[in-house]
Amino acid sequence: MFILKTWRSVAFGIYGFKNFTKSGFLEHSKNFKAEDMQAQIEGKNCIVTGANSGIGFATAEGLASRGATVFMVCRNKEKGETALSQIRAATGNENVHLEICDISLTSDVKSFASRFSSKGLPVHILVNNAGLLENDRQTTSEGYEMNFAVNVLGTYAMTELMLPLLEKAAPDARVITVSSGGMYTAPLTEDLEFSGNKFNGVEQYARNKRVQVALTEKWAEMYKDKGVGFYSMHPGWAETPGVAKSLPGFSKSLEGKLRSKEEGADTVIWLALQPKEKLISGGFYFDRAEAPKHLALAGTNGSHASYIHSIAANLRALLSRL
């Protein structure tokens, strides 16, 4: 097990340094097609979680600049209002709105879903961007480990509760979940809240992000007849407030080599704009192309089939309980 974990870390580091940095983006962008990003999406309703900074902010701004009606879901009202004003000023789009919701609390997500449903609006695009990496174990007021509560349970609850509104926008509705390349270092596991004695926030984050990719596959399978596409992606190594706070050593060591938040958000916006026939529901995307979900010889391949059904059942039970 030690040798396998070491190999995953080494392989991830080499693969990531080549592909996930700013230079990787610039190299991959040579194959980008400008026309892919020129679509206007007036009249489409988009929800972006964690939209007040980083990749969420860049995503909300990118969608607003293309005419979408954007609902920014943020935990902090003051930061959300500042971001809202900035996006409206930069895009000239007044159809950008702020919704306050703490994704770490399922009760809050349920309350948001109820409020939003009362608007009677279809949801064309849901971007599950809100994420968290806490290095020390913390527990929410509902009793869940904090990273899991935001990255997994919050993402699951938001997607499931928005599904009726996504169906209203079928056949063009889509869910885009922002995962992380860090998931390459972790197989899927049923130990969702990291029950081991020595908590490791970075490893827990990687596990959470692996769950997001597997859940995307599961949703694509379960809801294939509902006219909703499900896609996961990862932004590469981007310079964001979250990275600086949670991984200061990593951020400092790669100073000047990290992607901008706009480069990190590029594939999210690309997924939002493409005709669905160009995309594969359940797919994992990076730099505007489908990407592998596992690194060679990393021993993570079989974990999805082994655990995703029980994980989805457990999450469904947690959601119904709260």
Average pLDDT (151-174) is 98
- The count of domains in the chain is 1
Q: What percent of the chain has pLDDT over 70?
A: 99
pLDDT band at 1 (very low <50, low <70, confident <90, very high): low
Average pLDDT (220-245) is 96
- Tell me the pTM: 0.97
Range in 45-54, 142-151, 196-205 the model is least confident about = 196-205
Domain that holds residue 283: 2-321
Indicate if 205 belongs to the active site.
yes
Average pLDDT (248-256) is 91
Cα–Cα distance list, 57 to 53, 138, 270 (Å): 5, 26, 15
Domain with residue 115: its CATH number is: 3.40.50.720
Question: Cα angle vertex 154, ends 153, 157, to 5°?
Answer: 80
SS (H, E, C) 3-67: HHHHHHHHHHHHHHHHHCCHHHHHHHHHHCCHHHHCCCCCCCEEEEECCCCHHHHHHHHHHHCCC
Average pLDDT (92-111) is 98
- The enclosing H or E element of 149 equals none
Indicate whether 243 pLDDT > 80: yes
How crowded is residue 195: how many other Cβ atoms within 10 Å of its Cβ? 8
Token duo for residue 255: 């100073």
Place of tokens 């529901």: 281
Average pLDDT (213-228) is 97
Place of tokens 């449903």: 117
Q: What is the pLDDT of residue 38?
A: 96
Strand arrangement, sheet containing 45-49: 96-100, 69-74, 45-49, 125-128, 173-178, 228-233, 284-286, 289-290
Distance CA 13, CA 288 (A): 21
Whether the link from the prior residue into 292 is cis, omega within 30° of 0, is: no
Q: Catalytic: which of 144, 156, 205, 223?
A: 205
Distance CA 282, CA 220 (A): 5
Range in 76-80, 109-113, 243-247, 294-298 the model is least confident about = 294-298
Looking at this protein, which amino acid is placed at residue 240? T
Alpha carbon dihedral 242, 141, 104, 204, in 10-degree steps, equals 60
